[in-house]
Structure 1
Amino acid sequence: MTAEPTGSDTSRRTLLKRATVAAAVPTVASLLGSFPGTAAAGDAPDLPDYAPIPAASVGPALNADGYFVGRVKGNLYWVTDTYYQAMFLTTREGVVLVDAPPTLGHNLLRAIQEVTRANGKPSRVTHLVYSHSHADHIGAASLFGKHVVRVGHTETRRLLRIEADPNRPAPTVTFDDRYVLRVGGERLELAYHGPNHSPDNIFVYAPDYATLMVVDVLFPGWAPFKGLAASQDIPAWIKAHDIVMDYPWRTLVGGHLGRLGVRADATTQQQYVADLLASTRAAEASVDPAPFYEKYGPTGNSWAIFETYLDAVATTAAAPVAAKYTGVLAAADVFTVDNAMVMLESLRIDFGELGPFGVRP
């Protein structure tokens, strides 16, 4: 196990010091090698080039099994494979795990064994907390057996009962607003602040360690994932950034990518989102819809009008934002057009800013 900084040592300087780009990220060829019949990346024609990943965006190097496990502080640990993250508490009664991403899978068991052997705590996972119902974050939940206590929001249980996925057994303990999970002298404060990324996404706070885990809202060091993290309620997802900042955390577990977050990361993403919102509004006001109506209106192809106009607005909106954040947030040049498109759709259908598709005189 690689030791993690504790308390206030979980700082940007510490994260920068341990960032190693080449060692932390598995090669595409090694990933594709896991899937029979897939071609190596070098065989794929005309793949685009993107800006280099800033060193500050990358986390610690992975071990030979493809994961990193480290201490946040005290009995609180985190695990990553550079794509997904989980968090766990070791207690005198067993382990409390938050999320079970399938890309980590059996490496979660290895990480827990590694830690508990070192600290002399029981290794059995007694409680598994679900951040939300999505399979990419809890799709390995079945690995922990039938007797683990599964804790999640009431809506998570409803959704998982509908899905009936054997890899994601429904929670056995649920709550509506707040729940304090106490196990073996440790505690986690679970809270539901309404829908954001998903209808059931919760906040998991470890007050003794000033650590917050909230998934698919903040992406420390990186631009948000495609389509504003594929979120279902964009206004609520934006509001969730403010709720995150209301917590007195020093360390953030965001559920994705290779490193922990600090408060400066949250501030940077808030600014990215604010800039994207402002740029999208400006682009909607500046892009003339007339050429799109003139070209496709006579043909009766309404979808072509929408497609070309919305694409033009999203591309216009994304350009200054991607330019500003390239080199600041990793992959700002990868997903900002997609993020602008989703922001534009939210402006139209959530905020009622319809542009040329509004009520006409």
Structure 2
Amino acid sequence: MNATDSTTTEAPLPDYAPIPPSAFGPAPNEQGYYVGRVERNLYWVTDGVYQAAFLTTQDGVVLFDAPPSIGHNLQRAIDEIANANGVSSKVTYLVHTHHHADHAGASSLFGKDVVRIGHEETRRLLLRDDDPSRPAPEETFSDRRTLEIGGERIDLAWHGSNHTPDNSIIHFPDHDALMMVDIVNVGWVPVYVVNLSDDIPGYLAMPATALTYPWKTLISGHLGRLGTRDDVVVHQQYMADLEASAKTALATVDPTPYFQKYGAVGNMWGAVKAYLNAVGEATAAPVVEKYTGVLAAADVFTPDVAFWLMESMRLNHGIGLQVHP
């Protein structure tokens, strides 16, 4: 049988709601990246999915994160800006927000001489992972550290476990900017498992923490545009609406029919799955309706985010759990 005779057909891809125009940023160039000014000598780079940032200074370039999806385009973007401004394009420092490979996997492109800086837990985790693409930072901090590099001030802060145990904030006080990665997806909803977070309560607390800093531009680490304080507020409201919906669902979805059906044949996991899926679906439904057209992909990922947020509320806060009389 040749390919034209095959009766096998692929399942059609699902249809999703249109993406709001406000979710999109500038289009990448022919090489697959966009580089733009945040303020003065602070710049950002994106491929439309991931973001990094860099400062041009008297002591070379300070790079913040090195996503492998941008890869060699990081240096191309730096060269473009440096050549236009007559400054050095040599990356002398690389600051990590956290250890994940999707934000640090191009670190090795910058050689052994670059000074790598990150949280002490970032160093521990990268030594554990033993990934040659992600050398561990030589310089670390625990809670706070202020860097003075080439006349520029960079404030690093760790506010506890959140997306990962090491995920940290980078504040640029002289550039009115904040880099907070993998918390707010500017213009979009979070993805699987509440943005793939190790610590969901810690994740939920980070937007409020970010708003205690003075800044006007957010570098969020993902997707194609920069953020504003209003973007953070919309994200907070989305998560708060999910929490409220989960509380209602946990209080109103009756587990009885699921346990009667599956418990009768001894399949307790079948009962648990059916019940929790029903709670997750009830949690997601009103939030999908409210945010479709407001936040991109509200219909794509809200059901998954709703499920894991609901589970975090059950397990971390005891919501919906009852003590047997």
> Which TM-score band applies after superposition, normalised by the shorter structure?
over 0.9
1:359 is matched with 323
| Letter matched to residue 235 of structure 1 | P
**Matched residue of 1:127: which SS?**
strand
**Matched residue of 1:209: which SS?**
coil
1:267 is matched with 233
- Aligned partners of 1:86 and 1:98 also within 8 Å: yes
**TM-superposition CA deviations, 1:274-321 (whole Å, max 9, x none):** 000000110111111001100111221121111111111111110100
- Aligned partners of 2:116 and 2:136 also within 8 Å: yes
2:157 to 188, 191, 196: 191
State TM-score, norm by structure 1.
0.86
| Letter matched to residue 74 of structure 2 | L
**TM-superposition CA deviations, 1:85-129 (whole Å, max 9, x none):** 001000121000000001000110110110100111111100000
2:3 is matched with none
Report the CA distance between 1:329 and its aligned residue.
0.3
**Matched residue of 1:350: which SS?**
helix
**TM-superposition CA deviations, 1:5-47 (whole Å, max 9, x none):** xxxxxxxxxxxxxxxxxxxxxxxxxxxxxxxxxxxxxx85221
Give the aligned length.
317
| Letter matched to residue 156 of structure 1 | T
**Matched residue of 1:208: which SS?**
coil
- Aligned partners of 2:259 and 2:272 also within 8 Å: no
Report the CA distance between 1:352 and its aligned residue.
1.5
1:248 is matched with 214
Distance 2:115 2:10 in 1: 45
**TM-superposition CA deviations, 1:139-173 (whole Å, max 9, x none):** 11100000100000000101111100001100000
2:32 is matched with 66
2:44 to 75, 78, 81: 78
1:224 to 181, 185, 190: 190
| Letter matched to residue 292 of structure 2 | T
**TM-superposition CA deviations, 1:167-195 (whole Å, max 9, x none):** 11000000001111111111210001111
**Matched residue of 1:150: which SS?**
strand
- Aligned partners of 2:163 and 2:183 also within 8 Å: yes
Distance 1:262 1:144 in 2: 31
Q: Please, which runs of 5 or more residues in structure 1 have no aligned partner?
A: 1-42
1:149 is matched with 115
**TM-superposition CA deviations, 1:36-83 (whole Å, max 9, x none):** xxxxxxx85221010111101100011000110000010000000110
- Aligned partners of 1:90 and 1:116 also within 8 Å: yes
- Aligned partners of 1:133 and 1:160 also within 8 Å: yes
| Letter matched to residue 323 of structure 2 | V
1:101 to 67, 72, 79: 67
Distance 2:14 2:248 in 1: 28
Distance 1:132 1:176 in 2: 13
- Aligned partners of 1:227 and 1:335 also within 8 Å: no
1:139-178 correspondence runs (5 A): 139-178=105-144
- Aligned partners of 2:23 and 2:296 also within 8 Å: yes
**Matched residue of 2:258: which SS?**
helix
**Matched residue of 2:249: which SS?**
helix
**Matched residue of 2:48: which SS?**
coil
Distance 1:302 1:46 in 2: 34
* Greater Cα offset, 180-189 or 64-73: 180-189
Q: Identity over the aligned pairs, expressed in percent? A: 56
State TM-score, norm by structure 2.
0.96
Q: Please, which runs of 5 or more residues in structure 2 have no aligned partner?
A: 1-8
2:254 is matched with 288
**Matched residue of 2:45: which SS?**
strand
1:319 is matched with 285
| Letter matched to residue 179 of structure 2 | M
- Aligned partners of 1:91 and 1:184 also within 8 Å: yes
1:341 is matched with 307
Distance 1:180 1:328 in 2: 37
1:115 to 66, 81, 103: 81
